[in-house]
């Protein structure tokens, strides 16, 4: 069996790559690996999903698998991923399962796992689950009779989650008008409700999920409708979530995009001023724009880079006891309030800063000047040779010397395709493109496709 877990759980075409049989196996193996019991209590699992139609099928398989290893299961229905993580912690559950493919199109689905407390799994636990599936241990030694888990429904999970979000908002949002694009996803009800409860005037769009329209030309990956609605309604800003609402992007009153890097910069400065930015440090990933590092340096804030993926951001946050981190894509993590990226929580904190400062989103976002970025995907015969060849490394070193502190080079082989990705940031787009093309030529020469 190849690598089952990606950067955010198991994901694939529902009923194609991701079958009910696989979902059952993952649930059984996860129960075996994550549940530690001394025999004196029956383990508890929380299971939620986003609205996509295949979630109903996969939920049934996951619930059956967990009950078959002796776990009592509480189904919380359609809720955002961070809501499921929150409820795992609140219920002192042994594990949680979220069925969602996040921002992927409707035919896909995924399985995200949470350990006790609501944290995503480290690589070591994922590897143990994969091994348990490969070894087929889930098919033997299951409980019978009274040892089989029972299944229950939690009807007010959304209410608990919304109250948690509003309580975590640092300032009322009265006087702000916001358009929220819910991506026809898991936050279609709780997102607008939380923003309203916090005081904002809310116009919700793409908030009518039917199981088939999740992320369909809407949400954080398709911002045109949100941009148009913000301008039409004269709103102060727009907020875009993805299918499971662990992301947040924003739109200014004039229709300009504010990405995760800009949101992190706004929140980092606000938290620094409030004395809540631990060690005056922000955690981002290698994909964040160099402009974020330069803006943070000017503000006296240290920036630490993590690998791509919000769980890696979380690992760095926890290791350093830090308070804020995230990704350019809009996954923002605030460990004081959430165990994973939470798009609605991010939106609330962003809007709170507008309310308390009296500034527009455009004014707040201006703290970060994004450097022009050029990305070239070079097709090669061997992606590792293409990235590591001495001539390529020499070209990268020359480029880094040329760019100095006003630019950078990121060279990495694709994890799944015969490609080497060449990304260059520089003070000007012409310079970025010239440097990227020069390195790309060396990559092509080192491993011709």
**What is residue 138's predicted lDDT score, i.e. its pLDDT?**
53
For 157-191, give one letter per residue: b (16+ CB within 10 A) or e.
bbebbbebbbebbebebeebbbbbbbbbbbbbbbb
Q: Of 68, 102, 220, 329, which residue is the catalytic one?
A: 102
Element (H, E) at 292: helix 290-298
167 is in an annotated binding site: no
Give the residue among 209, 333, 330, 193 at the shortest CA–CA distance from 263.
Answer: 330
**What is residue 77's predicted lDDT score, i.e. its pLDDT?**
97
Cα(184)–Cα(173) distance, integer angstroms: 24
414 is catalytic: no
**What is residue 414's predicted lDDT score, i.e. its pLDDT?**
81
Residues for the chain: how many in total? 449
Cα(420)–Cα(131) distance, integer angstroms: 30
Cα(51)–Cα(126) distance, integer angstroms: 25
- Select 160-365's CATH number: 3.40.120.10, 3.30.70.120, 3.30.420.110, 2.60.40.10: 3.40.120.10
CB of 340 within 8 A of CB of 161? no
- Structure letter (DSSP) for residue 213: -
CA 342 to chain centroid, in Å, comes to 8
Radius of gyration of the chain (CA): 23
Class of domain 10-155: alpha beta
Q: Which residues pair with 49 in a beta bridge?
A: 78, 99
List, as one string, the DSSP characters of 137-156: GGGSS---GGGS--EEE-S-
Give the residue among 346, 368, 8 at the shortest CA–CA distance from 180.
Answer: 346
CB of 283 within 8 A of CB of 365? no
**What is residue 2's predicted lDDT score, i.e. its pLDDT?**
55
Sheet holding 249-252, edge to edge: 201-205, 177-181, 237-240, 249-252, 257-258
244 is in an annotated binding site: yes
CB of 219 within 8 A of CB of 198? no
Tell me whether the CATH fold assigned to 10-155 matches the one assigned to 160-365. Answer: yes
Sheet holding 373-379, edge to edge: 373-379, 419-425, 408-413
CB of 360 within 8 A of CB of 253? yes
One pLDDT digit (tens) per residue for the chain, 449 residues: 457 887 778 999 999 999 999 999 999 999 988 886 555 678 999 999 999 999 999 999 999 999 999 999 999 999 999 999 999 999 999 999 999 999 999 999 999 999 999 998 888 888 999 988 888 755 567 899 999 999 999 999 999 999 999 999 999 999 999 999 999 999 999 999 999 999 999 999 999 999 999 999 999 999 999 999 999 999 999 999 999 999 999 999 999 999 999 999 999 999 999 999 999 999 999 889 999 999 999 999 999 999 888 888 999 999 999 999 999 999 999 999 999 999 999 999 999 999 999 999 999 999 999 999 999 999 999 989 999 999 999 999 999 999 998 899 999 888 667 899 999 999 999 999 999 999 999 999 999 98
Residues near 218 by Cβ (< 8 Å), separated by ≥ 6?
Answer: 181, 183, 184, 205, 206, 225, 226
Q: 3-class SS at 419?
A: strand
CB of 334 within 8 A of CB of 276? no
- Structure letter (DSSP) for residue 104: S
As its CATH architecture, domain 373-446 has 2-Layer Sandwich (3.30)
**What is residue 6's predicted lDDT score, i.e. its pLDDT?**
78
Q: Where are the domains of the chain?
A: 10-155, 160-365, 373-446
Counting DSSP H helices and E strands in the chain, the numbers are 15, 18
242 is in an annotated binding site: yes
């Amino acid at each position: 069996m190849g690598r089952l877990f990606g950067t955010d759980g198991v994901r694939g075409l529902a009923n194609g790559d991701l079958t009910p049989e696989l979902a059952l196996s993952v649930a059984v193996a996860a129960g075996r690996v994550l549940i530690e019991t001394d025999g004196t209590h029956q383990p508890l699992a929380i299971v939620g999903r986003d609205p996509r139609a295949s979630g109903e099928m996969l939920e049934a398989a996951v619930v059956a698998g967990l009950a078959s290893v002796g776990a009592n299961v509480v189904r919380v229905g359609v809720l955002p991923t961070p809501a499921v993580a929150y409820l795992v912690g609140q219920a002192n559950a042994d594990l949680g399962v979220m069925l969602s493919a996040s921002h992927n199109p409707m035919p896909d689905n995924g399985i995200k796992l949470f350990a006790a407390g609501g944290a995503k799994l480290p690589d070591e636990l994922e590897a143990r689950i994969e091994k348990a599936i490969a070894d087929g241990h889930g098919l033997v030694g299951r409980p019978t009779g009274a040892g089989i888990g029972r299944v229950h429904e939690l009807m007010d999970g959304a209410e608990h989650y919304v109250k948690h979000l509003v309580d975590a908002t640092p300032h009322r949002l009265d006087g702000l008008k916001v358009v929220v694009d819910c991506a026809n996803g898991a936050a279609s009800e709780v997102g607008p409700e939380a923003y309203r409860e916090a005081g904002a005037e809310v116009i919700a769009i793409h908030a009518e999920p039917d199981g088939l329209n999740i992320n369909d030309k809407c949400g954080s990956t398709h911002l045109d409708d949100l941009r148009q609605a913000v301008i039409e309604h004269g709103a102060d800003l727009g907020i875009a979530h993805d299918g499971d609402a662990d992301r947040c992007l924003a739109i200014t009153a004039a229709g300009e995009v504010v990405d995760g890097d800009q949101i992190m910069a706004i929140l980092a400065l606000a938290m620094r001023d409030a004395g809540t930015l631990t060690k005056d440090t922000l955690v981002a990933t290698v994909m964040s724009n160099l402009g974020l590092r330069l803006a943070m340096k000017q503000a006296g804030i240290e920036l630490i880079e993590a690998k791509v993926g919000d769980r890696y951001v979380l690992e760095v946050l926890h290791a350093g006891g830090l308070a804020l981190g995230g990704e350019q894509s809009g996954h923002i993590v605030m460990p004081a309030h959430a165990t994973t990226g939470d798009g609605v929580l991010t939106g609330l904190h962003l809007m709170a800063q507008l309310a308390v400062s009296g500034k527009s989103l455009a004014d707040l976002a201006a703290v970060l000047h994004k450097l022009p970025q050029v990305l070239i995907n070079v097709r090669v015969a061997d992606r590792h040779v293409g990235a590591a060849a001495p001539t390529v490394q020499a070209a990268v070193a020359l480029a880094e010397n040329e760019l100095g502190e006003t630019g950078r080079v990121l060279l990495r082989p694709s994890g799944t395709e015969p490609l080497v990705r060449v990304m260059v940031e520089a003070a000007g787009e012409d310079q970025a493109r010239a440097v990227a093309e020069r390195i790309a030529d060396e990559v092509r020469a080192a491993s011709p496709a």
